Amino acid sequence: MKAFIIHRYGKKEQLHLHEIAEPVVKENDVLIQVYSASVNLLDSKIKNGEFKLILPYKMPLVSGHDVAGVIIKTGAKVSRFKVGDEVYARPADHHIGTFAELIAINEADVALKPQKLTWEEAASIPLVALTAWQALVEKANLKKGQKVFIQAGSGGVGTIAIQLAKYIGATVATTTSTANVAWVKALGADVVIDYKTEDFETILRDYDVVLNSQDTQTLEKSLRILKPGGKLISISGPPDPAFAKEFRLGWPLKIVMGLLSFGVRRKAKRRHIGYSFLFMRAEGSQLSKITALIDAGFINPVVDKIFPFEKTNEALTYVESGRAKGKVVIKVI
């Protein structure tokens, strides 16, 4: 099969298209013929080596974290799916590789594709929707009537998180650039702050939850808009000791994680705010719940551009530029 390979870590490295052996299908795996895959900033960060201490991948590595396609083979113990099922998934860490014609994924990480979506739309969903779900539903336990600040409302996670929060019944504030203010309001945001001309810290007060995806300065400002008892969930760092424990990292890395997040955790504690770092995980059962919301019309995908498979490097470069509104997708078939 054809696949895009990373040979070594590095910011200047590109993905290389090669013919490689088809994946081995284990007893709990389904083999998926890839119709579409989407590109995430995580793909770039892994290529650059930013996560090599946490996720020490062996090279060469097939990249890619989102897939939509058709099951063409099942392992001996697979019970939830059959050949011919249309599915989508975010494969688990250490089992990624969606920038390819085929991928084998554990059935626990797979869900049936939303019926109303195209292949490209379906591929845009798993990683960002699972991130939004795990941040707002699992960690924040967001409730109807609460106020949530979702940063970067026009980004991949932001576009889905806004829609999920509105489905829950929360009041949503977000940030975006001048050109996207009306567009983000149409997604459902109640308060839209133009980060080029306004400072969210001077506008927002007494929020229950913040979903942080920006830099350290923004993280610290976010603490100041939360009310006592509020929750600050960051998907951009710094990682905390709970994350190190969850990932079963060794004691040297546990110490490092503790030091990296010590400052923000201390400031959060002083303000009686809970801080947690989220590195999303594959979870087919949660993705099935998201499928139901999509088919019911509560969540809609936001796809910016679709690139052909052979232009996967160009798609990755576009994502790295930070200009994408929603998701960037690769069409394999």
pLDDT tens track for 142-187: 999 999 999 999 999 999 999 999 999 999 999 999 999 999 999 9
Written as six digits, the tokens of 145 are 């009537």
* C-alpha–C-alpha distance, residues 65 and 58, integer Å: 16
Q: What is the dihedral of CA 187, 188, 190, 193, to 10 degrees?
A: -10
pLDDT mean over 95-105: 98
CA 240 to mean position of chain CA atoms: 19
| Residue 72 pLDDT > 90 | yes
pTM of the entire structure?
0.97
pLDDT band at 210 (very low <50, low <70, confident <90, very high): very high
Residues 239 and 255: beta-carbon distance below 8 Å: no
Write the CA distances from 328 to 208, 239, 260, 265, 296, integer angstroms. 31, 27, 31, 34, 24
pLDDT band at 248 (very low <50, low <70, confident <90, very high): confident
Write the CA distances from 13 to 5, 20, 94, 276, integer angstroms. 11, 19, 20, 32
pLDDT band at 273 (very low <50, low <70, confident <90, very high): very high
pLDDT mean over 221-235: 98
